[in-house]
Amino acid sequence: MKIIGVGICFAIILGAILQVGHHLFIDINAALFVLGGATGFLVFKKDSGNHIKNFGQGAVYFGWLGTLIGLIAITGNRFMVWGDVEKMGPALAVAMLTLFYGYTIKMVTIALADDQSL
């Protein structure tokens, strides 16, 4: 049943992505930030029995941290987009991708983890 549930969730997400445009959802730096942070969280977490759960938690934490870092960079005018509406939209989209990646990874780890450990 987990496989069917995950399949339904991914079909809905994929449908939305294809409707909006798949090119908007690809950013290697955001993906590396979330995957690297989740891996680091997994390594330093003391509860070694729940590797999958820890990786999912780390992905969500670093998804939020990545979004905050992106918003700070945008509002601090690091990328010279502050006040330029046409440039701020894409910059905000990239800043929010870390959240998308983090929660997508979390959904996969929930499906992979043992029900009793959650």
Q: What is the mean pLDDT of residues 100-105?
A: 96
Per-residue pLDDT of 2-19, as tens digits, reads 788 888 999 999 999 999
Structure tokens at 15: 């449908």
Residues with Cβ within 8 Å of residue 51, at least 6 apart in sequence:
42
* Degrees, nearest 5: CA angle 107-110-111: 90
pLDDT band, residue 117 (cuts 50/70/90): very low
